Structure 1
């Protein structure tokens, strides 16, 4: 598996992955009806860096890294990760997380914060905890899960 910066030529393949992940409405805030044109502002905005991980000639996952806030809060990074459902459980998320931590350190971020981790996304929470992220806050009923209704969300943080 190889991780590299995303290119404009990856747009359609990232959209295919993105749309597969959001269609379950169980881990991301995007509605399954999010139009393809919105991918640019959610995954390719000028203030973020987008990476992909490839294997066997296909994009298996992707992540973005950006400042969590503007101005005096820009020293903390924010990341979002997506792994194609067909490749979940094969170490793709782990490699993306490792890579993002390295990128954040190289770019002199002081920490990484995840603003909304759905409490029912047990696999992601366990992975983030393995990398030293801690739950630092809970938003009661912060997410409208497609099958479970309102569930809590977590804010997770890792000091760098």
Structure 2
């Protein structure tokens, strides 16, 4: 079940968030963020939103979505996703991705732009490609992966018109 994230979900979301950030493979968030700082970064304010995918009372993944830029750029959306280690490979990212695409369509966005998909994160690149996103550019060496060194960041886009 995908639903709006609530403040009382944060303890579980934080476990997922911190593990992913500490892993150093997919997000450029500082590794010394406190839980409170991370919560302010992850919980979006309207018109944006943050959701969780919950199964049997456990949060398996989370996504945040909304306008990529304010004002004259607000017609293009963006989103970020995190899936718990235990739930990887179970379709959680796909379900969240489909939800995000549907939400952006329903809200009248003209497209969705992912600003920084780490090129060595092949599971994400393959999923977004499978859902119709195209790589429209890659910034070479823009991400310092703990395991792969300097790798590119893809800008990926899905046209919703």
The two structures have a TM-score, normalised by structure 1, of: 0.96
Map of 2:28 onto structure 1: 29
Superposed, which structure 2 residues align to 1:8-157 within 5 Å?
Answer: 8-47=7-46, 48-157=48-157
How far apart are residue 31 of structure 1 and its match? 2.9
In structure 1, the residue corresponding to 2:23 is in which secondary structure? coil
How far apart are residue 46 of structure 1 and its match? 2.1
- 1:104-129 superposed Cα distances (whole Å, 9 cap, x missing partner): 01111111000000000001000000
Q: For residues 122 and 97 of structure 1, what CA distance do their matches in structure 2 show?
A: 15
Instruction: State whether residues 135 and 156 of structure 2, in contact with CA within 8 Å, keep that contact through their aligned partners in structure 1.
Output: yes
Q: For residues 111 and 44 of structure 1, what CA distance do their matches in structure 2 show?
A: 22
Instruction: State whether residues 44 and 65 of structure 2, in contact with CA within 8 Å, keep that contact through their aligned partners in structure 1.
Output: no
Instruction: State whether residues 140 and 153 of structure 1, in contact with CA within 8 Å, keep that contact through their aligned partners in structure 2.
Output: yes
Q: For residues 154 and 109 of structure 1, what CA distance do their matches in structure 2 show?
A: 21
Unaligned runs of 5+ in 2: none
In structure 2, the residue corresponding to 1:46 is in which secondary structure? coil
Unaligned runs of 5+ in 1: none
The two structures have a TM-score, normalised by structure 2, of: 0.95
Q: For residues 128 and 155 of structure 1, what CA distance do their matches in structure 2 show?
A: 11
How far apart are residue 62 of structure 1 and its match? 0.2
- Report the number of matched residues: 159
Instruction: State whether residues 24 and 32 of structure 1, in contact with CA within 8 Å, keep that contact through their aligned partners in structure 2.
Output: no
